[in-house]
Amino acid sequence: MQKLQGIAVSPGAVIGEALVMDTEGFRIPRRFVARDAVVDELERFDRAVGAAAVEIDHHREAVSAELGDKYAAIFEAHLQMLQDSRLRGEVEDLIRERHYSPEYAVSHVMRRYAQVFQRLESSSLAERANDIFDIEKRLLRHLLGRRREGIAHLTSPVLVLAHNLTPSETSNLDRRYVRGFVTEVGGPGSHTAIVAEALEIPAVVGTGPFLTDVSGGETVIIDGDQGLVILQPDEETLARYRHEAEEKRILATKLEPLRDLPAETRDGVRVELLGNIEFPYEVDHCIDRGANGVGLYRTEFLYLGADGEPTEEIHYQAYSRVVQAMGGQPVVIRTFDLGADKMPNVPRPEDNKNPCLGLRSIRLALRNLPVFRTQLRAILRASVLGNVHIMFPLVSTLLEFRQAKMVLADVMEDLQEHNLPFNRDVPVGIMVETPAAAMMADRFVEEVDFLSIGTNDLIQYTLAVDRGNRDVVGLYNPVDPAVLKLVAMTIEAADRKGIPVSMCGQMSGSPLYTMLLLGMGLRKFSVTPSAIPEVKNICRHVALPECKAVAERTMTMENARDVKNYLKEEVKKYMEEVPE
């Protein structure tokens, strides 16, 4: 058994078969052949070598005729490498002695040769591995024939393990069969994290290198709550995770009837539970859980992985689908929250040493007005289809908000000139995710229609912790008293002015914090859709005076650990299940 600690980015735990994706596509999983099939499989390998050799020789002749023998030498070398007697002996031994499938045996042996080069510091030497991969690919193509396409075509549930996943890789995966993700690199904002959360499957990122220890096909556990990946789990561990999965299933079944009941405390205080979504299809997850709306519709997916800037029509389609599906319930659309590096057709900033503190989100929008205006036009056009709200991310000064509103007013005028309908009274608000915005909340409330506390960034900026950095991630804590003070200031400012305030960070989705947040005065929680039933369950078990007492006591504490332990004890009083 081998345990790897990474960063938990999408909750839940899952046991399943590993599928390794690397730069070459899917790694060939370890498969075995029957004892009596060994002779046939050896012949199959032999035929594949023969066919690959003929193919390489054709290439050699063609290149030689066109460019001369000197340029054809590389193919001659490939041919020699393919027919290397030691290599063949090694592959044949694995088939004969260990009963590996020829595909896996080839992949295994070739990778060992390639690793010799890949370990080298010098990049020109490391590149020699490419010649070996080239031969491997050729052999595999002959071994697999048409089945090669079939590997990408999943037919059974798998856990996808990769160094990193690109948007095109994840989009090529059949969603019905992917049950979890692990990537060696990446942090909470990575593409994998976003997709996993949207698919509601567990994911762990940033584990560091481990893929050389996995061939694919073996049993792996992904624990997206603890950020753990367990390779070759022992029976005891498997049994424990199976038990937990069973309990979770039972809890989910128990919570199902809550769908059509209001989120209301025992003493009748109404709470609104909304969903955070990234992709349009997630609106269905919100509806399934009985959400009161979409409290955060992230729009980054429209830009990520796109070849060019998305057109107004693409924006409009994505927004109208969600707005219409939610009927008259609110949909809060957040304008793009990205750095310049992730945006197509936006000039790279010259200084990008510290992207989190650099030109991104609303700052980038205000510097690239055409891109910003395209998005605003589409949102405004969708505003007549339902109950649309517009939210600006990472606002840190009043001036930024005023500027953004001016751009919005300008776009409105433009739409009016073209006789395009829109809702002139569309509510406009900001994310409170910088300490600056929280401390100025009493001023912001004079000008905005609503506030939404984005805890993920607020924690990062308040505590000066990058939660993608394993060395300091322990300092990242939603209930650090410094963070709680800023949250309290924001809620109080909104209450005094009588404007709505919600919370849309991960904190609001954890049942552990529900009592505290209710006690602090929060009545609107925007959470990942799968968290709605559990948060609702807590709401229905507690009464406001109890929550207020919890909040008051919490605010006297001086460190996050004490707060967390205290909250666990309190929640235990009302719930059998203590959330982590």
Residues forming contacts to another protein in the complex (CB under 8 A) are 64, 69-70, 73-74, 76-77, 80-81, 84-87, 113, 116-117, 120, 122, 124-125, 128, 131-132
Minimum distance from residue 93 beta carbon to another protein (Å): 16
Annotated catalytic residue within 191, 285, 315, 389: 191
Active site residue 539: no
Closer of 58 and 243 to another protein (Cβ): 58
Q: Residue 544 and residue 550: Cα distance in Å, rounded?
A: 10
Tokens 């049942």 correspond to 511
State the nearest-atom distance from the C-beta of 90 to another protein, in Å. 11
- In contact, 376 and 426? CB cutoff 8 Å: no
Are 189 and 207 spatial neighbours (Cβ–Cβ below 8 Å)? Answer: no
Strands 178-183 and 219-223, how do they pair?
unpaired
Question: What are 3's strand-pairing partners?
Answer: 230
Which three-class secondary structure state does DSSP give residue 529? helix
Are the C-beta atoms of 564 and 551 separated by less than 8 Å?
no
Q: Which is nearer to another protein, 116 or 482 (CB)?
A: 116
For the CB of residue 98, give the shortest distance to another protein in the complex, in Å: 21
Distances (CA, A) of 298 to 69, 165, 175, 427: 57, 20, 20, 17
Distance from the first to the final alpha carbon of the chain: 24
3-class SS of residue 72: helix
Could you give the CA distance from residue 243 to residue 420 in angstroms, rounded to a whole number? 57
Question: Catalytic pick from 78, 142, 389, 504?
Answer: 504
Nearer to another protein, 50 or 347 (CB): 50
Minimum CB distance to another protein smaller for 65 or for 482: 65
Nearest CA-CA partner of 271 in 576, 555, 520: 520
Containing H/E element for 17? strand 13-22
Query: Could you tell me the sign of the dihedral formed by the alpha carbons of 519, 523, 527, 533, in that order?
Result: positive
The minimum distance between CB 72 and another protein, in angstroms, equals 8
**For residues 331 and 389, what is the distance between their CA atoms, to the nearest angstrom?**
6
> How far apart are CB 283 and another protein at their closest, in Å?
55
Report CA 354 to chain centroid distance, whole Å: 22
Of 93 and 446, which CB lies nearer to another protein in the complex structure?
A: 93
Least separation in angstroms between residue 73's CB and another protein is 6
Question: How far is residue 331's CA from residue 322's CA, in Å, rounded to a whole number?
Answer: 8
Rg (CA), the chain: 28
Q: Where are the alpha helices (DSSP H) in 326-440?
A: 361-367, 369-382, 398-417, 435-439
Q: Pairing state of beta strands 294-297 and 178-183?
A: unpaired
We find the least distance from the C-beta atom of residue 124 to another protein, in angstroms, to be: 6
Q: Which is nearer to another protein, 75 or 303 (CB)?
A: 75
Residues 478 and 507: beta-carbon distance below 8 Å: yes
Question: Nearest distance from residue 94's CB to another protein, in Å?
Answer: 17
504 catalytically annotated: yes
Amino acid (one-letter) located at 140: L
Nearest to another protein of 112, 248 (CB atom): 112
**Closest CB to another protein among residues 109, 445:** 109
Residues annotated as part of the active site: 191, 504
